[in-house]
Amino acid sequence: MANNQFNSTRLFVREHMQSAEVGGFVSGNVAVFSLQSPLKNDGENEDACALIQLSHHSGLLVLSDGVGGHRGGQDASALAVETMSKISQLEIADVSNLREPVLDAIEHCNATLLSEGLGAATTLLVVEVQGNQVRPYYIGDSTILVTGQRGKLKFQSIAQSPTGYALEAGVMEEAEVREDENRHFVSNIIGATDLHMTVGSWLELAPRDTLVMCSDGLTDNVYIDTIIENVRVGPLVKSACKLQQQCKLKMDDETGHPDDLSFILFRLK
């Protein structure tokens, strides 16, 4: 059973933080940032995040990005993180392996969205943290990456979209993807009958590695190399502020792509 003494869940749903929120999480430190698109004035943010700690050594980092550009997308992303957060209420015999609870929660969320019949959908990133090891789960075109202190890219998820697959295959360059008119077409989402879940292998983090999870509000405006350069060294709060500033500068430029912006940074203590 999960020990309730350690259970702690932070939800960032419809919260619009102007600065990064930083704190301890499981075996490391974490920074979370979420802000609605500068084109919006309705208080709606289709991104949502959650930090779910189950023990001193075990927890889940969660980020979702609603699809559709309307209230349905916001509700779908909120449902995804809220469903995932209910894992902390389960009686789990072994919190050192959360694969089954995570996949069950994803299936439940997908079934709920389909049963509502509103066409609402969302992408989802989940990173399982077990001590100094992490395991990624991802659906859609949001991004997970891990970089070393010297800037070596140790892991990057593949965006599940035509442009994402073209980038991975070397058919398109990152700059071309960002300007492609079909870049927001997503091949795999929660809220679809053909949903498939990608579960990555365990990755051992070195003490100075940094894990990044982000919605496409960041990757549509800041190149991967620039993201890595901003987060690979220094306090997480400074890295988060630099990322936000880089993204805001681009969104304010006529060549930028204004969107809701959310990201989570994690680094071992």
Per-domain residue ranges of the chain: 8-268
Closest CA to 227 of 146, 168, 171: 146
Helix (H) or strand (E) holding 163: helix 162-169
Q: Tell me what percent of the residues of the chain surpass a pLDDT of 70.
A: 93
Q: What is the pTM of this model?
A: 0.91
3-state SS class at 19: coil
Evaluate whether the domain defined by 8-268 bears CATH number 3.40.50.1220.
Answer: no
- Contact status, residue 151 vs residue 232, Cβ threshold 8 Å: yes
Which two structure tokens, joined as six digits, stand for 54? 């189950």
pLDDT tens digits along 15-67? 555 556 778 999 999 999 988 888 877 667 889 999 999 999 999 999 999 98
Q: Of 260, 269, 263, whose CA–CA distance to 235 is shortest? A: 269
- Asked which of 7-11, 113-117, 149-153 is least confident by mean pLDDT, the reply is 7-11
Contact 13, 82 (CB under 8 A): yes
Digit-coded pLDDT (tens) for 168-203: 899 899 888 878 877 778 889 999 999 999 999 999
pLDDT digits (tens, 9 = 90+) for 118-147: 889 999 999 999 999 999 999 999 999 999
Q: What token pair was written down for 155?
A: 């892991």
Interatomic CA distance for residues 141 and 164, integer angstroms = 7
